[in-house]
Structure 1
Amino acid sequence: MNLFHNSVVAMTLTTILAYGLSVRADEPQSLTTQVLHRTVKIDDLDIFYREAGPKDAPTVLLLHGFPTSSHMFRNLIPALADKYHVVAPDYPGFGNSSAPSVKDFDYTFDNLASVIEKFTEKLGLKKYSIYLMDYGAPVGFRLAAKHPDRVQTLIVQNGNAYDEGIDNEFWKPVKAYWKDRSKEHGDALRSLLTLDATKWQYTTGVRNVETISPDTWGHVQPLLDRPGNQEIQLALFFSYGSNPPLYPQWQEYFRKHQPPTLIVWGKNDQIFPAAGAFPYKRDLKNLEFHLLDTGHFALEEDGATISTLILEFLGKQLTK
């Protein structure tokens, strides 16, 4: 066997182990792929994170979307951890991190990015690749534009940096809230925080709904339903309006620094449709582009495909 063949076999086995495909139930888990669940203090907040892989390997920072948490990466982490140091934090107000009230913490994307920036520094992450999905895009692009020297590659999965991706029906009531932060417009968005809306996010656009585990909304919805959490999410819906004005700055970062980028985009997403993926081609020269026949949470249906694409991409980019 040549080196390339050995590499492909290793990646395939790693993917199979992570996604539970044809693996014996009694197969022991590798110490390097074992996921650790940790908490670190950042500005009096407990920031929960999942971590796996050798710390002397290149780091992959996984930034989750709404309304989930690092839980969305539960299978991807061990799939990458044989070769990479993988870290996935929960933002304040999400997952197992602190969720102070809106009176005690200003829930803006600037502040989420600041917490994650301090988190990377607390963990000593000097260089990293970033997986950006949904809310992870405005958090991660703030980091990248501020510290371009720290970012080795970008992996973009249904995360926007162009106006073309946020001009669909989903965004009309959200944009109305940006223009007028009234109770009426805020209350109109509370339907996005219901169990039906959460299921819709996970199941719309998938090829086979039977592949989507109810453990997903079973994890997310109780957290959304915590007292005070609706106000947290409404604050972030409003703050999302701070992101489009920064798009030109992020696009200038792409053009100037040309980070190697992998696009793995669920093309049937009704929130961030494929229209938001194509504009990256305008500004990035070192770009791998994949539209997948699935929905918003592409990892749920196409996690094995995405992990293989990431391993191949990072293998090429981080060994140059």
Structure 2
Amino acid sequence: MRTQAIRHRHIQLEGHDLFLREAGPPGAPVLLLPHGYPCSSFQFRRLMPALADRWRTVAFDWPGFGYSDTPDPGEFGYDFDAYESVLTAVADHLGLQRYALWLHDYGSQIGLRHAIAHPDRIAALIIQNGDIYEDVLGPKYETIQAYWRNKTTEAHRPLEEAVSEEGFRHEFVGEVNGTVAQRVPPDLWKLHWPLMDTPVRRQVAVGLMEKLEVNLAWFPRYQAYLREQQPPALIVWGPEDGYMPAESARAYLRDLPRAELHLIEDAGHWLLETHFDEALPLVRDFLTRCHA
């Protein structure tokens, strides 16, 4: 078996068709990779084979994203709780008992709900631009917060406009300098937007932005989990991030004082696209020590 090659397949979970990527030896230590917005498991396509000599890596597309199906909203909640149940179902389906968990973007909110529900499963955390501290949210949150304060059609329109090909492009390249932006392949939005450009999927994406308001109430619970459980943690962060600047990364040290923090200069929210060579040795070294 070529364990360093990514294997692609579909699995049936709770009546839904889920697209899965997997690499590495079946018996190796596991790294579970829930993806963020506006992307899919595609965001881990470089990381997975780069770790697969020593680790089993698993990534998948959430319902309503990528190559997974799009259940009727009357049958699936499309909120952070519903997605946590999918994450748990994937781990159960694959027989995963203990694993490191990658926390990025929405995947950080979903992943930490999973960790709270199953603390015995979490061997370590790799935290990459995932926000759980309300007092250090970046200025880009202002558009969403304006809607939370005043739920009018006018205030809602920027959320709808963000769910577009141009909105996706801006999420990937709009915050880093021009040289760094050239490292980001346009495939990330050119290929992903056609998959998202359906009425239900556009509404799912907008709805998740709306539901971030409710998610704020979970921030103290996420922090309490970290403070009480003290999982080994690597914080690898792109500070050029309008939602989650450097202060958002440093805030984790309040609850995880022994965590390793690395701010990668000039990197933004998508550092695996632009600063992969800087991030990979940090990840490999951390995982090696966690599983020594």
TM-score range, shorter chain: over 0.9
**In the aligned structure 2, how far is the partner of 1:271 from the partner of 1:223?**
25
Match of 2:205 among 233, 251, 255: 233
Query: Are 1:315 and 2:288 counterparts?
Result: yes
| Match of residue 289 from structure 1 | 261
Matches of residues 262-301 of structure 1 in structure 2 within 5 Å? 262-293=234-265, 294-301=267-274
Q: What is the identity percentage for the equivalent residue pairs of Structure 1 and Structure 2?
A: 37
| Match of residue 177 from structure 1 | 147
| Match of residue 149 from structure 1 | 120
* Paired letter, 1:44: G
Matches of residues 206-225 of structure 1 in structure 2 within 5 Å? 206=177, 207-225=179-197
Paired residue total: 289
Matches of residues 58-69 of structure 1 in structure 2 within 5 Å? 58-69=29-40
Give 1:178 deviation, angstroms: 3.6
Contact 1:201–1:297 under 8 Å retained in 2? no
Give 1:238 deviation, angstroms: 1.4
| Match of residue 156 from structure 2 | 186
Q: 1:68 to 1:178 in 2, by over 3 A?
A: same
Query: Are 1:50 and 2:37 counterparts?
Result: no
Contact 2:18–2:62 under 8 Å retained in 1? yes
**In the aligned structure 2, how far is the partner of 1:197 from the partner of 1:308?**
32
Give 1:77 deviation, angstroms: 0.4
Give 1:135 deviation, angstroms: 0.5
Give 1:220 deviation, angstroms: 1.9
Contact 1:165–1:277 under 8 Å retained in 2? no
| Match of residue 108 from structure 1 | 79
* Paired letter, 1:249: R
**TM-score normalised according to structure 2 size:** 0.94
Give 1:49 deviation, angstroms: 1.2
**In the aligned structure 2, how far is the partner of 1:296 from the partner of 1:286?**
23
Contact 1:64–1:135 under 8 Å retained in 2? yes
Contact 2:7–2:21 under 8 Å retained in 1? yes
**In the aligned structure 1, how far is the partner of 2:269 from the partner of 2:172?**
7
Give 1:102 deviation, angstroms: 3.0
Contact 1:164–1:275 under 8 Å retained in 2? no
Contact 1:39–1:46 under 8 Å retained in 2? yes
* Paired letter, 1:281: L
Give 1:274 deviation, angstroms: 1.5
Q: Per-residue CA shift, 1:6-25, capped at 9, x if unaligned?
A: xxxxxxxxxxxxxxxxxxxx
- SS of 1:277's partner is helix
- SS of 1:54's partner is coil
Contact 2:4–2:52 under 8 Å retained in 1? yes
Give 1:306 deviation, angstroms: 1.4
Give 1:100 deviation, angstroms: 2.4
Match of 1:199 among 156, 169, 178: 169
Contact 1:67–1:224 under 8 Å retained in 2? no
Deviates more, 1:135-144 or 1:91-100: 91-100
* Paired letter, 1:201: E
| Match of residue 225 from structure 2 | 253
**In the aligned structure 2, how far is the partner of 1:161 from the partner of 1:109?**
14
Give 1:129 deviation, angstroms: 0.3
- SS of 2:275's partner is helix
| Match of residue 57 from structure 2 | 86
Contact 2:169–2:189 under 8 Å retained in 1? yes
Give 1:85 deviation, angstroms: 0.6
Contact 2:165–2:190 under 8 Å retained in 1? no
**In the aligned structure 1, how far is the partner of 2:50 from the partner of 2:71?**
33
Contact 1:205–1:295 under 8 Å retained in 2? yes
**In the aligned structure 2, how far is the partner of 1:99 from the partner of 1:214?**
24
* Paired letter, 1:33: Q
**In the aligned structure 1, how far is the partner of 2:62 from the partner of 2:282?**
26
CA RMSD of aligned residues (A): 1.6
* Paired letter, 2:210: F
Give 1:228 deviation, angstroms: 2.3
Give 1:224 deviation, angstroms: 2.4
Give 1:180 deviation, angstroms: 5.3
Give 1:109 deviation, angstroms: 0.6
Give 1:165 deviation, angstroms: 3.6
Contact 2:66–2:196 under 8 Å retained in 1? no
**In the aligned structure 1, how far is the partner of 2:146 from the partner of 2:180?**
34
Runs of 5+ consecutive residues of structure 1 not aligned to the other structure: 1-29
Give 1:182 deviation, angstroms: 4.8
- SS of 1:228's partner is helix
